[in-house]
A and B are shown apart, each in its own frame.
Chain A
Amino acid sequence: MSLDWPIELYDTLKSAGIGHMSYVPDAGHSTLIKLFSADSEVVTNVLTTEEEGIAIAAGAWLGGQRSVVLMQSSGAGNCINMLSLPVQARFPLLMLVTMRGEWAEFNPWQVPMGSATQAALEAIGITVLRAETGEDLVETVAQAATMAFDADQQIAVLIGQRLLGKKKW
């Protein structure tokens, strides 16, 4: 079960009507990125920096499409001012954030932003949920998608680094 979570996540997001995705690459998201990129029904954007995805998702919703933004925790800090857009305009927002700097991390430079991710996102008004197992993640994302797109909420789901496994270096 836990090994298949990216595939289950893809199915879950598709069932939630996601037709649009933007991402800054991350090893934990690589399967999801591959599946979405190969899906002709989904528009995908590779970003130069994470906050671009927040603005693009708002534009997609203006045009009637449900978007998801993929990033890692080091990029969450880049998004803070841009998040005022979905918060102020109550644009639905679903961010999936793979965590760095918290479990078997080999790079000390990842630790400060990893430690600050949840507090920083909550400070600007984002609802933050966390998942530590594949099963929990799929269920959490399914309900987060409902709350985002049906209840106009701005939600980040943090994917615990323990779930991703130790990075090979």
Chain B
Amino acid sequence: MSLPTMDRREAVKKLLDARDGALVVTGLGSPSYDVHAAGDRDNNYYLWGAMGGAALVGLGLAQAQPKKRVMVITGDGEQLMAFGALATIAVASPKNLDVIVLDNQHFGETGMQSSHTGRGILFDKVAGACGFSVARELRTLEAVDQLVDELRKPASGPRLFVLKINAENLPRSLPPRDAVFVKNRFRGHLGFAAG
């Protein structure tokens, strides 16, 4: 018996359509394509590399912009590379950081090998044990609709949501590759001069 999973692009679009000005950081690979497919925005920061860095870029951003909500959208493989980041984020305890793990339980970019989450590791349990204020697994688009409402409410600490998504390689929707351009555009959105 296999448990239900959802379409990743529809799930991400639901989250972003209701982002309410949230700053978004994406993990390399498909999560960056999913966020780009939902609409390129000045307040998206796409990572094309630096594997394991997405949630931590989100942490630094959340600490520097405590009045804005920061949403990290990344994949299970990317976050697995930075397991310790969950401890660092939990200790830092930002109230404005939400980590969304798009979990297809595979290393989709490299040939669909089964990942650790496909072999029993549960990110929501790990994040919960670290001390995230909320950590939960979602399996349907209806559950994402409810999550959108939940995300609007103030949090008492960092939150992590695992979205179990279909294991498939969708057509790529490529964000700009020029990291300096994306950085300056993002900072411009926040009112900082490009330098």
Interface residues of A (CB under 8 A from B): 20, 43, 45-49, 51-52, 54-65, 67, 81-82, 84-85, 88-91, 152
Contact = CB atoms under 8 A, between A and B. Distances in A.
Interface in B168-183: 179-180, 182-183
Contacts of A88: 49, 179
A131 to B, nearest CB: 26
Interface in B70-87: 82, 84-85, 87
B158 interface: no
Interface of B: 23, 25, 45, 47, 49-54, 56-65, 82, 84-85, 87-88, 91-92, 179-180, 182-183, 186-187, 190, 192, 195
A57 B56 CA distance: 9
A82 B92 CA distance: 20
B85 to A, nearest CB: 6
Contacts, number: 111
B50 A55 contact: yes
A52 B61 contact: no
A81 B52 CA distance: 10
Contact of A20 (B51, B54, B64, B183): B64
Contact of A48 (B53, B57, B58, B87): B87
A54 B53 contact: yes
Contacts of B62: 59, 63
Contact of B57 (A46, A62, A65, A81): A62
Nearest to B47: A85
Contact of B88 (A47, A81, A85, A152): A47
A89 to B, nearest CB: 4
> Which of B52, B63, B84, B192: most chain A CB closer than 10 A?
B63
